Amino acid sequence: MKTFLLVVVLALSASVATAGDSWDRTDKILLGACLATAALDYGQTMHIARNPGEHFEYNPLLGEHPSPSTVRNAFLIGGAVKIIVAELLPSRYRKVWLGGLAVTSGIIVGLNRKNGISFEW
Q: Give the integer Cα–Cα distance in Å for 111 and 105.
A: 10
pLDDT in tens, 79-90: 999 999 999 999
Q: Is the pTM of this model over 0.85?
A: no
Q: What is the secondary structure of 48-74 as a DSSP string?
A: HHH-TTT-----TTT-SS--HHHHHHH
Identify the pLDDT of residue 7. Answer: 59
Identify the pLDDT of residue 121. Answer: 82
Identify the pLDDT of residue 103. Answer: 98
Identify the pLDDT of residue 9. Answer: 62
Closest Cα to residue 61, out of 38, 84, 82, 78? 78
Identify the pLDDT of residue 6. Answer: 59
The residue ranges of the chain whose pLDDT is under 50 are: none
